[in-house]
Amino acid sequence: MRRRWRAAVAVTVASLLALTACGGGDGAGQGSQTSDKKKVEVFSWWTGPGEVDGLKAMRAIFEKRNPSLEFFDAAVAGGSGDKARALLTTKLQAGTPPDTFQGHAGAELQGYVKAGQLEPVNFLYDELKLKDVFPGQLIDQISVQGNVYSVPVNIHRSNVMWFNPALLKKAGVTEVPATIDEFVTALEKVKQTGKVPLAIGSEWTMVHLLESVLLGSLGTDAYNGLWTANADWSGPAMTKALNDYKTILSYAGEPAEDWQPAAKQVADGGAAFTIMGDWAYGYFHNPPDGGLGKKSKVDFDWAPSPGTGGTFMWLSDSFTLPKGAPNRDGAVAWLKVAASKEGQDAFNPKKGSIPARKDADTSLYTDYLAEALKDWNTDRLAGSIQHGVTVNDAWRVKINEAVGVFHTDRDVAALQASLAEAAKSSGQ
Amino acid sequence: MTRVRRWLPGLLLVTPSIVVIGVFVYGMLGWNLRLAMTDRHDEISEGRFVGLENFVTLWDEKRWGISVHHAIVFTAVFVLGALALGWLLAFLMEKGIRGEGTFRAVYLFPMAVSFVATGVVWRWLMNSGQGERAVGLNRLFGMLGLDSLQWEWFRNPDWGMAAMAIPAIWQMSGYVMALFLAGFRGVPEDLREAARVDGCTEWQVYRHVVLPLLRPVTLSALIILGHISLKVFDLIVAVSGKQIITDVPAVFMWVAVFDSHDPAKGATIASYIVLAVSVFVVPYLVWTLRRERGEKRS
């Protein structure tokens, strides 16, 4: 009898101990940091080929400049940062932010700003005179009530039309379509040859297509006006733009798994066009283990998406300064590297993007990137929807839902109503 | 004192698990329900109590209607498909084929694979490319000259969710087979003999003797499959990601919490999922409880 008692008590105590041990584990872990270098935790989702090399190059500069600081790479895998951002949310809510984290510059950061989780970095812009080296339109488009909350490291272009020159030639398309009407004509000609006119991927690539069509159909001023107080989502111009979208989408082949298989259809000559951001360049161009090893201007070619020539629809990865960062000085040191010419010129050629700074070393950027850099300095700017520049997260989800539903019912009036409703309920 | 001695050690032994389950299951359920009844539609606000408002307004959302519809189609196809296939496999097995052990292992094997792994493989098998772009099953159909069978699989707007149930059926029918096989073996041979002596054909033996005795097994299988199916998340995400065309409540919940940053909406959807699952589970629990009591009495 007594034995059983003892056993019962022992088991109970042991399990209670186990429970408390789980709770107390964290504190012990932090105390065991022995290195006298101070750690700077840099949170990003750069784990893929190219981007990880770029991050390493920036890290080397950071460690050279700051011998007393230790770079801690807290990267979480997953394209466009889905998983990383879910983890980040929990960390921020628990009040244990990383020292600095990656985020798309623009409205995507607004949630953090509203929650009071980010510190404005205006002081850095003044100290480093960044307002002189970043394009003025960029500063305007990422400022919230006069405050800037992040340092853009790179710029990608969203409104790029990639195409297969040989296939176009065979279809009798002699000029690269520059307007939406020309684009539709070209799509029709390709359709006659039996090839897929337009390759698309999963639902987010259709939102990506939508932003290019909106920009091309509405024009830059009206498009940029969509994100202001006097936006017109219900008017006839929007109806026309969405009808253009419907027409263009009717030429799309069956959706591929993601943007890469869609781009591959173009590279392999199965499809003529695809509209995708300029990260596709690396995929087309890089040697076979990370890309398709195609020759630019021969196997594949590019142009601004129809109707958007002269406008650069941008998106940008940037770094932030979270409030309550354990090592604020370290984070500021990292931001300085990220903002510097040296840092951006080390990172971007590897990542396959262009620097946000106007004074970059142009000799480092060749082929597509050289053209992009030139356009970045001369074009008008517009922000991307799907990649977090113009709309906050809740709004972006609603746009994605509307496009997802549209993909099944192809009802323009319903799409327009949903988009207008989304702008009303989630607009800034 | 002696009475205390009798129940206290037992209670002490189960206390830790009672506490842990109380906090981490029922406590969290309650916390979730409370969150669902507030207007905490972003991560900053505290959230005021609004009663059942979120539960009502959710039905105004187009996406919710779509995801509920998808969940129903998926559940119907998956549960019926797995039950039918599992029953058929068990039936064939029960006829005493050679190498039964091997077959049993083969059919049970998919159970050992996680839904995520299954999803990744089936995403490729169910690729929607057709004609010269076909891969996976469409390619197979093409090679066999069955081009007319090529279709968009889970990307079909009307029957996509039925296609989505195929990997789930593939994965779970072996398990159902094991359940049914045990059920078949539990039917005493004398009963069948008696029926045969009374002039029943083999079909009638199954129809009137074996099947009725299998009712408890069928019910268990139904409950197990039903609750898996209503909260399915991993398979969908692995096959298609977060697309509207295959949206289900659990995926919608994830998007609401982590993409839209709307905790109250996410909690509301979670509550509905719990409710839907309990429609399956609670009657089953009541039924088993009653049966166990009945057995004790007799």
User: What pLDDT shows up at residue A18?
Assistant: 56
CB-closest option in B245, B247, B259 to A393: B259
Beta strand A38-43 with A69-73: parallel, antiparallel or unpaired?
parallel
Within an 8 Å CB–CB cutoff, is residue A275 touching chain B? no
Question: Which of A142, A136, A245 is CA-nearest to residue A198?
Answer: A245
User: What pLDDT shows up at residue B135?
Assistant: 82
- For chain A, give every domain's residue range: 38-156+315-377, 160-313+386-426
Tell me the β-bridge partners of A71: A40
Residues 18-47 of B with CB under 8 A from A: 20, 42-44
Interface test with B, best of A257, A260, A421 (most B CBs within 10 A): A257
Secondary structure (H, E, C), A369-407: HHHHHHHHHHCEEEECCCCCCCCCHHHHHHHHHHHHHHH
Report the share of chain A in percent with pLDDT over 70. Answer: 90
User: For residues A378 and A155, is the Cβ–Cβ distance under 8 A?
Assistant: no
Residues in chain B: 298
Alpha-carbon gap, residue B298 to B289, rounded angstroms: 14
What's the pLDDT tens digit per position in B181-211?
A: 999 888 888 888 899 899 888 888 888 888 8
Interface test with B, best of A114, A259, A408, A409 (most B CBs within 10 A): A408
Rounded to the nearest integer, the mean pLDDT of chain A is 89
pLDDT at B9 over 60: yes
- For chain B, give every domain's residue range: 37-297
User: What pLDDT shows up at residue A155?
Assistant: 96
> The CATH number of A160-313+386-426 is which of 3.40.630.30, 3.40.190.10, 3.30.499.10, 3.40.50.300?
3.40.190.10
pLDDT at B65 over 60: yes
CB-closest option in A114, A203, A396 to B243: A203
When pLDDT is averaged across residues A49-58 and rounded to a whole number, the result is 90
Closest chain A CA to residue B260:
A394
pLDDT at A5 over 70: no
What's the pLDDT tens digit per position in A175-215?
A: 999 999 999 999 999 999 999 999 999 899 999 999 999 99
Beta strand A69-73 with A196-198: parallel, antiparallel or unpaired?
unpaired
Q: Which residues contact B42 (CB under 8 A, 6 or more apart)?
A: A111, A114, A115, A394, B261, B262, B263
Measure CA of the first residue to CA of the last residue in chain B; give whole Å: 32
| Element at A191 (helix H, strand E) | helix A180-192
A352: region left, alpha or beta (phi > 0 left; psi from -120 to 50 alpha): left
| Element at A331 (helix H, strand E) | helix A328-339
**Complex ipTM, two decimals?**
0.85
CB-closest option in A12, A270, A409 to B133: A270
When pLDDT is averaged across residues B130-145 and rounded to a whole number, the result is 84
User: What pLDDT shows up at residue A126?
Assistant: 95
> The CATH number of A38-156+315-377 is which of 3.40.50.300, 3.40.190.10, 2.40.170.20, 2.40.50.460?
3.40.190.10
When pLDDT is averaged across residues B226-247 and rounded to a whole number, the result is 92
Alpha-carbon gap, residue A111 to A346, rounded angstroms: 30
CATH H-level, domain B37-297: superfamily? MetI-like (1.10.3720.10)
pLDDT at A235 over 90: yes
Side-chain half-sphere of B221: how many Cα atoms within 13 Å?
A: 28
Tell me the β-bridge partners of A72: A41
Question: Which of A315, A322, A279, A388 is CA-nearest to residue A42?
Answer: A322
Question: Which of A215, A214, A218 is CA-nearest to residue A237?
Answer: A218
Alpha-carbon gap, residue A274 to A199, rounded angstroms: 5
What's the pLDDT tens digit per position in B81-122?
A: 999 999 999 988 888 778 888 888 888 888 889 999 999 999
CB-closest option in A12, A255, A394 to B16: A12
Give the confidence band of A346 by pLDDT, cuts at 50, 70, 90.
very high
User: What pLDDT shows up at residue A33?
Assistant: 46
